[in-house]
């Protein structure tokens, strides 16, 4: 569905060049919920802007439903965005219904690994624009391989998400 390969995004000024994303490859399949997570500055927004076709990239390939985004002009890109992409801010409790009822795929952007675990099938942990670790939500959360992920998990803040009797996501105290 959404396939990025080797994406690089650099912000250039007269004196310096900042790489927001380096060689980023992400594949989201139909009905898959994937989370992109990591601390401030790791490249989440840079990724989101490219995924939503709101910003350009310097290197790599981006395919959306088999269409090569890079080769499109602005009008074609706007049309594709309109047809294929939706942005949802914060109201994530109903998103699982969309997945089951409509088969939509979702990329969930958050710095909170604890929240991400309950929503996503798989997790991509970004560090300085590079994928530090990726895998199923359960494996990344319960058996993190990268030291960086372990540190992020240890630093994850208080409230945890759970499910109420209607299967909606709710915050739980403690944990």
DSSP states along 22-64 = EEEEEEE-TT-EEEEE-STTSSHHHHHHHHTTSS--SEEEEEE
1 with 85: CB under 8 angstroms? Answer: no
DSSP annotation of 101: H
Which region among 27-35, 44-52, 59-67, 143-151 touches Mg ion (by CB under 5 A)? 44-52
* Least gap, CB of 156 to ligand ATP (angstroms): 14
Instruction: Say which entry of ligand ATP, Mg ion, none residue 168 contacts (CB below 5 to 8 A, set by partner kind).
Output: none
Task: Tell which one of 29, 45, 67, 164 touches ligand ATP (CB under 6 A).
Answer: 45
* Least gap, CB of 173 to ligand ATP (angstroms): 25
Residue 45 binds to Mg ion (criterion: CB under 5 A) = yes
Read off the tokens for 74: 């602005």
Query: How far is residue 153 from each of residues 55, 136, 144, measured CA to CA in Å?
Result: 30, 15, 9
Task: Tell which one of 22, 24, 35, 44 touches ligand ATP (CB under 6 A).
Answer: 44
Read off the tokens for 98: 């969309």
Residue 124 binds to ligand ATP (criterion: CB under 6 A) = no
Residue 20 binds to ligand ATP (criterion: CB under 6 A) = yes
x/- site string to ligand ATP, residues 86 to 115, per CB under 6 A?
-------------------------x----
Task: Tell which one of 2, 24, 42, 107 touches ligand ATP (CB under 6 A).
Answer: 42
5's CB contacts (< 8 A; 6+ apart) are 25, 60, 61, 62
Map tokens 């359960």 to a residue.
138
Residue 136 binds to Mg ion (criterion: CB under 5 A) = no
Question: Interface residues with Mg ion (CB under 5 A)?
Answer: 44-45
């Amino acid at each position: 569905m959404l396939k990025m390969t080797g994406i690089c995004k650099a912000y250039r000024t007269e004196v310096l060049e900042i790489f927001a994303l380096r060689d980023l490859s992400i594949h989201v399949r139909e009905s898959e919920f994937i989370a992109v997570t990591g601390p401030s500055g790791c490249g989440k927004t840079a990724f989101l802007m490219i995924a939503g076709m709101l910003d350009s990239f310097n290197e790599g390939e981006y395919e959306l439903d088999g269409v090569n985004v890079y080769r499109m002009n602005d009008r074609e890109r706007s049309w594709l965005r309109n047809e294929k992409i939706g942005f949802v801010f914060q109201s994530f409790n109903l998103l699982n219904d969309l997945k089951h009822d409509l088969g939509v795929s979702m990329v969930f952007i958050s710095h909170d690994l604890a929240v991400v675990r309950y929503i996503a099938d798989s997790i991509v942990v970004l560090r300085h624009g590079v994928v530090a670790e990726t895998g199923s939500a359960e494996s990344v959360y319960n058996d993190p391989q990268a030291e960086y992920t372990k540190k992020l998990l240890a630093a994850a803040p208080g409230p945890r998400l759970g499910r109420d009797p209607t299967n909606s996501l709710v915050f739980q105290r403690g944990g």
